[in-house]
Amino acid sequence: MGNSIYRFLCGLCAPSSQEHGLHGAHPAVAALGRDILNFGAASQVPEGLSRHVVSSKKAQANWYKKLLAAWKKTRPPPKTPEEAARFVVQTLKNHQKADVEGFLVFYGLPHPNAAPGAPAPAPHAAPPPPKPQSAKFELHTLPVDPKAVSDGDTINVYVDTADPRESGSVPREVQKAAAERAKARAVKDYQKADALQKIIVNGGYRPVPNARGEEVLGKKYRIRLRGIDAPESAMPYGKEAKEALLKLVQGKSLKVYVYDEDMYGRCVGDIYCDGVFVQEQMLKKGLAWHYTAYDQRPELAKWEKQAQTGRKGLWASSKPHKPWEWRKAKRNGTA
């Protein structure tokens, strides 16, 4: 049974596959079945799944063990995304909601409770590239707050202080204030908790929710998107640029490759969200300029040119105002 399914899912369409109702399975279902059966052969979970779920690789392996056992018993195996989604939810019903939902997103399967006709999420988003050698370090952020985006090229993010990169550098006064704040909130002494919150925030930290909704202590980083310059808020398309960036990152955990620090103390970096390169999207939408004074990457120039040719965003104007010239004019009092 397992071998016949595997041959079908690999596109070989063995005659026995039709016997079990597998002919014509949806690509997302085929991907799920292939990964389940591959796990049975090699005990490996798919690359990239960890970006969509909150549990460890060990826990993920346990899911695939259960899915493999259930898949072999299912007659016939699922063919449509809806059938596959119900199969996953039923098999993993005792696991965390965030894990099950992330698992469905990874395979592009609809949530069983989704409204009829609702589009399924895109399956298997491409993982971000490995950290480039020229990058100084990388950050894995907590979910982005809606108020974190100040404009189309700057965003405030928080990194869990439990991260190995952060855990050894939290100031003692911040650690103490966070512990006392938790105690104060437990006894509903909110006045004391608010005073302790100020100490935490002034130290560059903040209690924020993680992907599971649990409050953790996060370190603040201000990120300047490398290689692009978006219109300022008071400029034409400034509001649209901010809203586009917010739509890309809100509520999501980001991977940031940091290359430098600017004169304002911001980390200059490339941002990836669910495998999507954020700067690429901003340039293609015509909501940012390629900042050639600081970044000569040809791919950024190509994406900007695509938006210009399509007259998208700010390029719908015959003479869009360059944000660096607008800032200079404002400093000189001639804006």
Q: What mean pLDDT is predicted for residues 291-309? A: 95
Range in 32-41, 133-142, 185-194, 237-246 the model is least confident about: 32-41
Burial tier of 9 (Cβ tally within 10 Å: 0-12, 13-18, 19+): buried
CA pseudo-torsion sign 18, 49, 128, 41: negative
Range in 4-8, 240-244, 276-280 the model is least confident about: 4-8
Between residues 272 and 116, the one the model is more confident about: 272
- The pLDDT assigned to 125 comes to 55
CA pseudo-torsion sign 103, 270, 167, 201: negative
DSSP per position, 267-314: EEEEEEETTEEHHHHHHHTT-SEE-TTT---HHHHHHHHHHHHTT-GG
Buried b / exposed e along 237-257 (16+ C-beta atoms within 10 A) = bbebbbebbbebbeeebbbbb
If one looks up domain 137-160+220-331 in CATH, what number appears? Answer: 2.40.50.90
Name the one residue in this structure whose structure tokens are 């052969």.
41
Taking the C-alpha atoms of residue 327 and residue 335, their distance in angstroms, rounded to an integer, is 8
Taking the C-alpha atoms of residue 12 and residue 16, their distance in angstroms, rounded to an integer, is 11
Q: What mean pLDDT is predicted for residues 73-91? A: 89
- The pLDDT assigned to 208 comes to 92
Q: What mean pLDDT is predicted for residues 240-268? A: 94
Give the CA-trace dihedral at 13, 14, 15, 20, to 10 degrees.
Answer: -80
Taking the C-alpha atoms of residue 158 and residue 223, their distance in angstroms, rounded to an integer, is 10
- The pLDDT assigned to 223 comes to 98
Positions annotated as catalytic residues are 224, 232, 266
Contacts of 104 (CB under 8 A, 6+ apart): 85, 88, 89, 110, 111, 121
Range in 19-23, 30-34, 42-46 the model is least confident about: 19-23
pLDDT digits 0-9 by tens, 149-170 = 999 999 999 999 988 889 889 9
DSSP per position, 100-133: HHHHHHHHTPPPTTSPTTPPPPPSSPPPPPPPPT
> Does residue 306 have a pLDDT over 70?
yes
Q: What mean pLDDT is predicted for residues 41-52? A: 83
pLDDT digits 0-9 by tens, 187-237 = 999 999 999 999 999 999 999 988 777 889 999 999 999 999 999 999 999
What is the overall mean pLDDT for the chain? 86
DSSP per position, 61-79: HHHHHHHHHHHHH-SSPP-
Residue 27 — pLDDT band, cuts 50, 70, 90?
Answer: confident
Q: What mean pLDDT is predicted for residues 120-124? A: 53
Q: Indicate the domain borders of the chain.
A: 2-107, 137-160+220-331
Taking the C-alpha atoms of residue 325 and residue 281, their distance in angstroms, rounded to an integer, is 23
> Does residue 115 have a pLDDT over 80?
no
